Chain A
């Protein structure tokens, strides 16, 4: 079975500082990995995905994520956080041998203080 862990419920950073949101995954085959962001009273919005190829993936709003197969991690990063990045972030994994089902992590609340 596939699963995702987001070890931190909350991440607090000052504006302008680097932001990292951690994600580790478990799959039996090769993973498809995704990051989504959710703003209050809104649905989840897609940020970026890793399917294959370059381990460093760039996405929307200046976010990037690094796929590390040996550590089974897919941490989300932003070099310089903005107050507007404050939101709930979800990591998700799909095991390509397990077709369509997408497993979401519990989410990490990011707060960027001015």
Chain B
């Protein structure tokens, strides 16, 4: 079973920030939080990951709460090309990667 809980769907207006939440209340100390997205019929694409600290790269920002029980992926200026299914995963190096159903994000013009 997936170790994360995400809303099944979200809408975001084009040009606005998209904030995608993820709950991982049973996360272990050695598990990282990873985010991937999948655009229809393509392979998933890595976005960002983190352990404790907030992270930012050219695609997104990842905010992890201090207790590590939840996180938020932020797409600062959503475009139509950001419409995709977003997966939040917690994973340790020795463990299998379990994907949940993810959040289907629709960016609205």
A binds B: no
Q: Which B positions have Cβ atoms within 8 angstroms of A?
A: none
Q: Which A positions have Cβ atoms within 8 angstroms of B?
A: none
